[in-house]
Amino acid sequence: MATLTLLQAVNDGLKTAMRRDPSVYVFGEDVGPKGGVFLATEGLTKEFGKNRCFDTPLSEDGIVGAAIGMALNGLKPVCEIQFQDFIFPAFDQIVSEAAKFRYRSGGQYTCPMVIRTPYGGGIRGGLYHSQSGEAYFCHTPGLKVVIPSTPHDAKGLLLASIADPDPVLFLEPKALYRSVKGEVPEGDYSVPLSTLRTVREGERVTVFCYGAMVPQAVKAAEQAAAKGIECLIVDLRTLYPLDEEGVLEAAKRTGRVVVVHEAPRFCGYGAEISAMIAENIIEYMEAPVARVTGFDTPFPNTLEHHYMPDDRRILDAIEHVHGF
């Protein structure tokens, strides 16, 4: 196995998919010879030619609209939105068109496409390069929303997403692009969508997290363990469709739950986890569900370190639910 960063794993996943399937095309703003703003597509144009990895105009609705047309005509497009913050001009194409084709055609047609985009904070990008908009898209039936947190999962989930018959929004936590490394199998493999990953075993508090919040949750769990509080850390990986049964089982194991995400709190993804637990297994709970999130403000620049949840805030929540 090779030891890769999460960014290198994404690049390796794209190359693997393009080698195995000539119908896979990669395109977006500056993804061609330049290799993308983060170099996630570096080397693809050189290996596969400018017809299979190419630059587009600065038009997000055009990028996604073209991908939909390609997907409906037998290709498997993987388009990139340079930052998730720029995806909103294509919102209608994603939620009203791509996500609806299977339903509106009575199952006759699918729309096999992947929209890759870096999301979240961690690079001091300010309000236009740091947003976490996953909740907008998890509200869309027909669309799958996937977020990796390790190099192994980044490649495996990406390959599974490209092979999936339905549209997938693949959100890449830019804070982890170069800050995490791990072993990644060579060649083709996949990590099944809608499956959870147990990051750390524990019987006192369950912590649900995803993306860049996974390493922060692990740090907090290590500090909690030193105080005698062993935490079960669960990486959700696929936010929609979610493995709801797995989430409920993990929550029942401890009866105490913390949910962590860097998006704003109000109507954030953690609210759905909280509601799911309240509606289904409230009798197993020993404490209210605690949420550790970003704040209900635009994403700040100089105060980024204060806005994003860290191990200290997560540890406070763990101790609170444990002592309730």
Residues with catalytic annotation?
A: 129
The structure tokens listed for 166 are 């339905």
Q: How far apart are CA 98 and CA 81, in angstroms?
A: 15
Cis omega (within 30 of 0) for bond into 148 = no
Q: For residue 310, report the phi and psi dihedrals to the nearest 5 degrees.
A: -130, 180
* Phi and psi based region of residue 137 (left: phi greater than 0; alpha: psi -120 to 50; beta: remaining): alpha
Q: How far apart are CA 196 and CA 51, in angstroms?
A: 37
Q: For residue 300, report the phi and psi dihedrals to the nearest 5 degrees.
A: -85, 165
Q: For residue 24, report the phi and psi dihedrals to the nearest 5 degrees.
A: -85, 125
Q: What order do you get walking across the sheet with 114-119 strand by strand?
A: 53-55, 24-28, 76-80, 114-119, 168-173, 144-146, 238-240
**Residue 101, H or E segment:** helix 101-104
Asked whether 190 and 159 are in contact (CB, 8 A), the reply is yes
Burial of 126 (0-12, 13-18, 19+ CB in 10 A): middle
Look at the alpha carbons of 178, 181, 186, 187 in this order and tell me if their dihedral is positive or negative. negative
SS3 state at 243:
coil
